[in-house]
């Protein structure tokens, strides 16, 4: 069984945008140290490229979210892997692959905010802003996307296609 896919963002376009995001982030923090948090698994490639385009003293951390509850509903969010360091008093930047309803990042931002970081911001490679169900600010949006389900550059469909260098829409 294979899926029909069309390329929507090329590997070259992604690399150009990531370099620009790295510059924007570098400028904003003015040489201050930054704790960069990768949201597993989807952000792993974006994170790997982005941290290499940021010119600041960095600390790299990883979290993973899971939801439990009944079927179709997104259910209750929990950490299946939490941070391994305190973020109190630190500049924290969350790195996410794609923000859709916004519920995952709303949970993460609220949870992190309770830990009293010095600053807390969000960078997302893809921003499906029209599908937002909660109010949420993506401080550094990579690419806007109106609709469709995409894979590649970290993002999956049933755990497939994460390794692709470009971003593809699954069509039927
Ligand atoms: P949200 O909580 O609805 O914002 O969901 C965001 C999460 O859903 C992302 O971190 C992705 O893991 C997943 N997701 C949403 N849209 C897509 C997509 O088009 N392709 C792959 N994963 C997606
Ligand atoms: Mg994700």
pLDDT tens series, the chain, 172 aa: 688 999 999 999 999 999 999 999 999 999 999 999 999 999 999 999 999 999 999 999 999 999 876 655 567 999 999 999 999 999 999 999 999 999 999 999 999 999 999 999 999 999 999 999 999 999 999 999 998 999 999 999 999 999 999 999 999 8
Residue 9's nearest CA partner among 170, 172, 168, 171 is 168
- Ligand 1 interacting residues, C-beta cut-off 6 A: 42, 96-104, 149-151, 155
Could you tell me the distance, in angstroms and rounded to a whole number, from the CA of residue 96 to the centre of ligand 2? 6
Domain that holds residue 26: 12-145
- pLDDT at position 3: 87
Q: Is residue 171 part of a domain?
A: no
Phi, psi for residue 145 in degrees, rounded to 5: -140, 130
Q: Is residue 150 part of a domain?
A: no
Q: Is residue 6 part of a domain?
A: no
Q: Is residue 75 part of a domain?
A: yes
Question: Considering the entire predicted model, what is its pTM?
Answer: 0.96
Domain count, the chain: 1
Q: Is residue 61 part of a domain?
A: yes
Q: Is residue 129 part of a domain?
A: yes
Residues designated catalytic: 100
Q: Is residue 53 part of a domain?
A: yes
Q: Is residue 172 part of a domain?
A: no
Cα–Cα distance, 101 to 94 (Å, whole number): 17
- Give the CATH number for residue 25: 3.40.50.2020
* Ligand 1, atom nearest to 100 Cα: 4
């Amino acid at each position: 069984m294979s899926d029909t896919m069309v390329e929507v963002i090329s590997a070259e376009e992604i690399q150009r945008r990531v370099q620009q995001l790295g510059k924007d982030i570098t400028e904003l923090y003015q040489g201050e140290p930054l704790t960069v948090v990768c949201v597993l698994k989807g952000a792993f490639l974006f994170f790997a490229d982005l941290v290499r385009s940021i010119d600041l003293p960095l600390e790299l951390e990883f979290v993973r979210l899971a939801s439990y509850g009944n079927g179709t509903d997104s259910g209750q969010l929990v950490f299946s892997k939490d941070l391994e360091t305190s973020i109190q008093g630190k500049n924290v930047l969350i790195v996410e692959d794609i923000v859709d309803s916004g519920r995952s990042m709303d949970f993460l931002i609220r949870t992190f905010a309770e830990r009293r970081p010095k600053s807390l911001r969000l960078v997302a490679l893809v921003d499906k802003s029209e599908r937002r169900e909660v109010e949420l600010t993506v401080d550094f949006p990579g690419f806007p996307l109106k609709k469709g389900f995409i894979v590649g550059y970290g993002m999956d469909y049933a755990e497939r296609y994460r390794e692709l260098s470009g971003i593809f829409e699954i069509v039927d």
